[in-house]
Every structure is written in C-alpha cells, then in structure tokens.
Amino acid sequence: MPNTTIDNVTAEYFTQSAETVACGLLGRNLVRTFENGTTLGGRIVEVSAWQGLSGDHTPHKFDEYTPGTVSVSTKHGKRLTDITCDDGHSCVTLVAAEYVFDDTKKVAQGPGNLSKALQITPDFDGYDIINGRDLRIEGGAVDSIEVKKRNKSNVPSNCQGFFYIK
C-alpha cells in the first residue's frame, strides 16, 4: 500500500497516482459548509481509485480538470463525487463516510448516498476542493497499516481497487 501519512492536502498531493491519493484520503474528514454557516462533516472510510480514461468515468470531462477538482456525475440515478488526481485523467470516487447528525452516528454507504447526505449537488462539478470553503478535506489520514483493499469483479479494468478502513 502507498504511504498514507501525508497530512496536508495540497495541489501537489493530488498529482499522485489515484491509488496513493485514495489511500491518503481515508480517515480524513469531508466537510460541507452550507449557506447558513452550518457544517456537516464525515470521516472518509471508503474510496475507489480509477486510473486513466476508460471505464465508468467520462473522458472529455477530465480533460478540463486539474488535480484536486471535484467532478459530480450521475450514474443509475445517483450522484457520484470524484476528485481528479494524477495527470488530471484519473480520479478517486468517494464511496462512504461516517458522520454525526442529530447526535446519532451514521454511515453514508455508497457514493450516491454519500453525495446525498452531504448535499453535494451538480453545482460542485468543477469545484476546487483544495482551496474551497463549501466542500473541503480536513484532518490527517490513517496509518497505511489500517488501509484494506478489495477488488470487485464487475468493474471496468481501470479500477485500481476499493480502499477502506474499519
């Protein structure tokens, strides 16, 4: 597994491979700030890494995006939230996060459910997650020894795997 102990999420951080970025996001908080100033954040517990342009992701879209740019797309009627990395032609999909809402710990499992829970709308497509205020990543990653990997058989060949923590 790649080293996941980098604490700063900078533009340079997102120029790394999709697998390295994916592993390094685990344990960090994905924070959404709303117009009224309230925030809702979730600890990222699962991501998937996508290398290159084939497969599920839309190639023409990523040609315009630099590393650290959010891409919001719809698949099977649900919104997926990706973060562009590597040379701009790869990405990490945010799959699951744990968050507290009304004093209850919840898990938004599945990319569509995570986007829905944090109200990540198509307005965030093209958003700069590095310098943004309304959607950002905070905190440190978990140690690489805590990162687990699983592969699925029903995904395109450019999927580098699903990475998760317990």
Long-range pairs of 95-98 with CB within 8 A, sequence gap ≥ 24: 95/46, 95/47, 95/48, 95/162, 95/164, 96/44, 96/45, 96/46, 96/164, 97/30, 97/42, 97/43, 97/44, 97/45, 98/42, 98/43, 98/45
Per-residue pLDDT tens digits for 17-68: 999 999 999 999 999 999 999 999 899 999 999 987 554 444 455 567 889 9
Domain range for 143:
13-164
Residue 31 domain-assigned (yes or no): yes
Residue 71 domain-assigned (yes or no): yes
Q: Work out the angle at residue 30's Cα, subtended by the Cα atoms of residues 108 and 17, and round it to the nearest 5 degrees.
A: 105
- CATH number of the domain within which 74 lies: 3.10.300.10
User: What is the value of pTM for the model shown?
Assistant: 0.88
Provide the domain count of the chain.
1
Residue 3 domain-assigned (yes or no): no
Please report, in angstroms and rounded to a whole number, the separation of the first and last CA atoms in the chain: 16
Residue 5 domain-assigned (yes or no): no
Per-residue pLDDT tens digits for 57-102: 444 555 678 899 999 988 888 899 999 998 888 899 999 999 887 7
50 HSE (CA, 13 A, CB side): 24
Residue 75 domain-assigned (yes or no): yes
Residue 135 domain-assigned (yes or no): yes
Q: For strands 29-33 and 39-50, give the pairing.
A: antiparallel
Residue 1 domain-assigned (yes or no): no
Residue 4 domain-assigned (yes or no): no
